[in-house]
Structure 1
Amino acid sequence: MPLHHPKHRHHHDEDVLPYHRSDDEAKPRRPYVPSSFPSSPASAAPPHRFLLLFAVVCLLLAVASLSFAVSVSRRPVPLQSPPDSVAFRCGRAEDSLRSFLASSGNYSAGDREKVLAVVGVHTELGSAARRAALRATWFPPNPEGVVSLEHGFGLSFRFVIRRTKDKEKMADLQKEVDMYHDFLFIDADEGTKPPEKMLAYFKAAYDMFHAEFYVKADDTIYLRPDRLAALLAKDRLHHRTYIGCMKKGPVVSDPNMKWYESSYGLLGNEYFMHASGSLYALSSEVVGAIATTNNDSLRMFDYEDVTIGSWMLAMNVNHEDNRAMCDSTCTPSSIAVWDSKTCSGSCNPIEKIRELHNTTLCSKSPTLPPEVEEEE
């Protein structure tokens, strides 16, 4: 509400309002006239004439002001154009979709948007063909589709990407951003290591969204958003939850072999249980703890999935193993399909994802299997 302040009197008010003065000062005084000449009534105007003149001047000013106000009100008022640039940022991180919607004047939201889950599909600058395959299949194809999926299932999808100092690459990416507006830029450069990139993603997503879960997905998987939403919406006893396809495996200590781990001395011969990196979800309380922790306080291993798994051990979370998140072929209950044994995702993701989408069992089967629907 506007605050009302007491009006202050100015010095010139005393000249206009003579009765504000003391009685002696308020009395009208005649000009000095030599005694040999009698005063004439016309030599000094009576006080009431000055007041009358002042009232007439005020009336004329009021009429002029009213006429001006009426003339202005009849003029067409130009519509206010939306601001040229409205950015939803957290440091160097930016949500391109909300920036676009706000700039178009069709969006209004608080600092943190409430959703069931943020699904960050991690991608790279040179993976435009993969993103095109996803938009042609299970990923929303345009801003309207992203908003519709958010309203329908509570899932807010974004392609998570890092910036680069290469002007040509950034120019190509900006064209894609301007066309689809479905990117979440994180506070990380192109050379940032995967574990550090993941930390930047969780920090940015937590600051921009008030979600029950924060999901990490690769751009090499086939996903059923409706089934993912059904999984995340279930009631759980544990507030700190880590959902994914849990696995263990040998720690590679030979630098000449694939999956070499430079910190093998801290791990022993076998990795602790952790979720496969292609798809997993962390509950809000878990991500909140990560987002508010100093970066230097978190140990970074060579691989993202191992690094996240080590943080989960330290935070005493509930590990929820769900094999439907890593099916190798489509089933009536599969949430995600990808080759977890020979590839990190699909070996030929562009062709494989389109092929899966053209299969009825993959893209057109009901959200829940018939037997589950009957039980409910």
Structure 2
Amino acid sequence: MQIRGSGPRPLPNSRISAVMFAMFASMASLYVAGRLWQDAQSRVYLIKELDRRTGQGQSAISVDETLKLVDCRQQHKKLAALEMELVVARNKGFVGQYSSETNGTNFSRKRLLVVIGIATGFERKKQRDAVRKSWLATGAVQCAAMKKLELEKGVVARFVIGRSANRGDSADREIDNENWKTNDFIILDNHVEASEEQPKKTKLFLAHAAEAWDAEFYAKINDDVYVNIDALGTMLAAHLDKPRAYIGCMKSGEVFSDKSQKWFEPEWWKFGDGKSYFRHASGEMFVVSRALAKFISINRAILRTYAHDDVSVGSWMIGLNVQHINEGKLCCSSWSSGAVCAAV
């Protein structure tokens, strides 16, 4: 006969141990989750800080690092666009061939050969019209001709101009009206148009062009220079294998310290006792490769400018692993046979 209540009972110590183990496991889980969250937040902060610093140009980075960063971001954008199109295609019940047009961006199209910036000013409409009637395009078919130039020859050409010191005045309105008719301007809204600001204007053009167009080369010319597009294409094709090419009519010359001189350089003392400029390309027309244009774009905030744009561009090449190419065909004032350009 079994007496009620005489069966085995759990020991108090075992019950306490189970409760303690459960509490310990819960605390450990909370600790691990907290550390993982902190690590994730730290990674987000570091990524944002890197993007902020590189975006503001607070530190100079190498050409190779620059291209890696830019290419990485471009690949992310391409992937996102492809994923969006894939979703749309699946919703329609099929997956077709990838279209080159997605959100206004052409990813599958071949890279442009060259983007040409034609430096101009408010009072230079006659010169612009002369360019339009010669090598760029003309008349009512101008937009179609510009598109054909881009598609068939891989060349984009735009007039480059800043804004008036009196923002919104008649000079600005005339340029806006002209651009509405021709659609062949790059208007630098954050730049005041002035002859002494030409070096900054050239820097802003190269930065803008490198961001707006994907091309092998980027060129700057003056609006009184005529260009043989076919000859330019042939010449540039010979330098496609040079990733850091700086091409132009290379020269040097005297640094003028006298204010009465036309080519006076306020910081003449920086060029040493010999008062001679370093080797640089003539400002009438020069070309830089894609890598160098990207470098200028990212480091624009810390790149120093001098009194003249050609000297300024040459100074940015000092210290970089750049190949200076002395191309006689870009000596526009020489009128030599086979020349790519001619100054008038």
TM-score range, shorter chain: 0.5 to 0.7
Is the contact between residue 160 and residue 185 of structure 2 (CA under 8 Å) also seen in structure 1?
Answer: yes
Q: Which moved more, 1:190-199 or 1:142-151?
A: 190-199
Matches within 5 A, 1:239-278: 239-268=243-272, 269-278=275-284
Q: How many angstroms does 1:161 deviate by? A: 1.1
Name which of 115, 120, 131 aligns with 2:117: 120
Using the TM superposition, give the Cα deviation of residue 129 of structure 1 relative to its aligned residue in structure 2, in angstroms: 0.8
**1:51-62 to 2 correspondences below 5 Å:** none
Give the match for residue 152 of structure 1: 152
Structure 1 residue 121: deviation in Å?
0.6
Matches of 1:289 and 1:265, distance apart in 2:
27
CA-to-aligned-CA distance 1:328-363 (integer Å, 9 cap, x gap): 46555110112xxxxxxx3xxxxxxxxxxxxxxxxx
**Residues 218, 279 of structure 1: 8 Å contact kept:** yes
1:109 aligns with 104
- Shift in Å, 1:313: 1.3
Q: 2:130 corresponds to which letter in structure 1?
A: A
Per the TM alignment, residue 177 of structure 1 is displaced from its structure 2 partner at its CA by 1.0
Match of 1:302, SS?
Answer: coil
User: Percent of aligned pairs with the same residue?
Assistant: 30
Q: Is the 8 A contact 1:111 1:208 kept in 2?
A: no
Aligned equivalents of 1:331 and 1:109: distance in 2? 42
Structure 2: distance between partners of 1:252 and 1:278: 20
Matched, 1:195 2:199: yes
How far did 1:120 drift? 0.7
Distance in 1, matches of 2:239 and 2:121, equals: 35
Aligned residue type for 1:298: L
Q: Count matched residues.
A: 233
Per-residue deviation at 1:144? Answer: 0.8
Structure 1 unaligned segments of length 5 or more: list them.
1-105, 339-345, 347-376
Where does residue 281 of structure 1 map in the other structure? 287
Cα distance change on mapping 1:161 and 1:261 into 2, 3 Å:
same
SS in structure 2 of the partner of residue 249 of structure 1: strand
Q: In the aligned structure 2, how far is the partner of 1:332 from the partner of 1:234?
A: 18
Q: Describe the superposition over 1:77-96 as per-residue Cα deviations: whole angstroms up to 9, x where unpaired.
A: xxxxxxxxxxxxxxxxxxxx
* C-alpha distance after superposition, 1:275-303 (max 9, x if no partner): 000100000000111111151x2122111
> In 2, distance between residues paired with 1:291 and 1:200?
8
* In 2: Cα distance, 1:108 partner to 1:330 partner: 45
Shift in Å, 1:257: 1.5
How far apart in 2 are the matches of 1:107 and 1:123?
A: 33
Aligned-partner Cα distance in 1 for 2:258–2:335 = 36
Question: What TM-score, normalized by structure 1, do the two folds share?
Answer: 0.59
CA-based RMSD of the aligned residues comes to: 2.1
CA apart distance, 1:111? 7.6
Matches within 5 A, 1:92-241: 109-110=104-105, 114-141=111-138, 142-164=142-164, 165-186=167-188, 187-191=190-194, 193-241=197-245
Equivalent residues in 2 for 1:59-74, closer than 5 Å: none
Q: Secondary structure at the match of 1:300?
A: coil
SS across alignment from 1:206: helix
2:293 pairs with 1:291: no
User: What amino acid maps onto 2:149 in structure 1?
Assistant: L
Higher relative contact order (CA 8 A, sep 6+): 2
Per the alignment, residue 322 of structure 2 pairs with 317
Find out whether 1:304 has 2:304 as its counterpart. Answer: no
Partner AA of 2:242 in structure 1 = H
Relative to 1, partners in 2 of residues 1:250 and 1:235: Cα closer, same or farther, differing over 3 Å? closer
Per the alignment, in what secondary structure is the counterpart of residue 286 of structure 1? helix
Q: Is the 8 A contact 2:285 2:332 kept in 1?
A: no
Deviations 1:83-113 (A, max 9, x none): xxxxxxxxxxxxxxxxxxxxxxx99731888
* Secondary structure of residue in 1 paired with 2:105: coil
Structure 2: runs of 5 or more not aligned:
1-100
Greater share of residues in helix: 2
Q: Structure 1's 253 and 278: CA in aligned 2 closer, same or farther, altered over 3 A?
A: same
Alpha-carbon deviations, 1:248-291, whole Å to 9, x = none?
Answer: 10111111212111111111211011000010000000011111
* 1:231 partner SS: helix
Q: CA deviation at 1:235?
A: 4.4
User: What amino acid is the match of 2:192?
Assistant: D
